[in-house]
């Protein structure tokens, strides 16, 4: 399924491990014409992005592109770290290796967009959103438990990124940037499902789903508490 998702944005063919219990998480884009606006915008996330964020981002294009570039760079390096940490997990290595290349390609695309617009890549900022998510990861315990949280953290970041890119693809005044972010949205949706699939490959499905529900609840609180700023993706 992961390959099909990456090729088409979202597969229209259901995989065995993505049964009805996971439908609220992966179907919003698959059933875009049938589902409500609320459902298809949040991909199972419990709190949608504040509508003000898109307007603020539209006024801060240099800053939002800079932050986006660093998000792609960090996604690539995190996948490399996961490969190094869990090199004995053959499927994880096989699936994440091309994601490293893809994320680094995204980094270069955003750099090109900055250059095309005569804008500069600014300084990397402290990522309050990701740091808050890292605080929720289990420390100690089993290797399986730590790996599960690391994979679900990545799934959640990709899901929120997908939701933000969808907002940008619909709400920016710049038509080219709307199309630009539509393509990124489709890619992030594929990555999001891949990390959940990898979690269910190595950890009991019920454990994955229970922990994922806890992550969704926690992330909603993080989003609620963070200041709405247009100079950052998260």
Report the predicted TM-score, pTM, of the whole model to 2 decimal places: 0.82
Range 2-225 classified under CATH 3.40.50.970 = no
- Tokens at 193, concatenated: 């499902």
pLDDT at 151 over 80: yes
Cβ distance 1 to 18 under 8 Å? yes
| Of the candidates 186, 157, 194, the residue with the CA atom closest to the CA atom of residue 169 | 186
Query: What H or E segment, with its residue span, contains residue 226?
Result: none
For residue range 39-80, list pLDDT tens digits in order: 344 468 999 999 999 999 999 999 999 999 999 999 999 999
The Cα-based distances of 99 to 65, 85, 93, 192 in angstroms read 20, 16, 10, 11
What's the pLDDT band for 189 if we cut at 50, 70, 90? confident
The Cα-based distances of 61 to 58, 65, 104, 148, 174 in angstroms read 6, 6, 21, 35, 10
């Amino acid at each position: 399924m992961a390959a099909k998702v990456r090729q088409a944005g979202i597969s229209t063919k259901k995989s065995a491990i993505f049964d009805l219990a996971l439908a609220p998480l992966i179907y919003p884009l698959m059933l875009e014409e049938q589902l409500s606006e609320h459902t298809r915008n949040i991909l199972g996330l419990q709190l949608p992005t504040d509508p003000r964020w898109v307007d603020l981002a539209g006024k801060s294009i240099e800053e939002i592109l800079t932050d986006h570039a660093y998000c792609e760079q960090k996604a690539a390096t995190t996948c490399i770290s996961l490969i190094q940490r869990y090199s004995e997990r053959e499927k994880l290595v096989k699936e994440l290796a091309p994601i490293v290349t893809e994320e680094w390609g995204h980094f270069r695309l955003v750099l090109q967009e900055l250059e095309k617009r005569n804008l500069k890549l600014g300084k990397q900022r402290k990522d309050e959103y990701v740091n808050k998510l890292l605080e929720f990861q289990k420390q100690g315990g089993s290797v399986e438990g730590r790996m599960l949280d690391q994979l679900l953290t990545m799934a959640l970041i990709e899901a929120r990124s997908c939701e933000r890119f969808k907002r940008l693809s619909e709400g920016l005044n710049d038509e080219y940037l709307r199309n630009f972010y539509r393509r990124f949205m489709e890619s992030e949706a594929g990555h999001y499902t891949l990390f959940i699939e990898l979690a269910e490959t190595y950890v009991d499905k019920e454990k994955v789903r229970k922990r994922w529900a806890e992550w969704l609840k926690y992330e909603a609180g993080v989003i609620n508490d963070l200041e709405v700023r247009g100079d950052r993706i998260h």
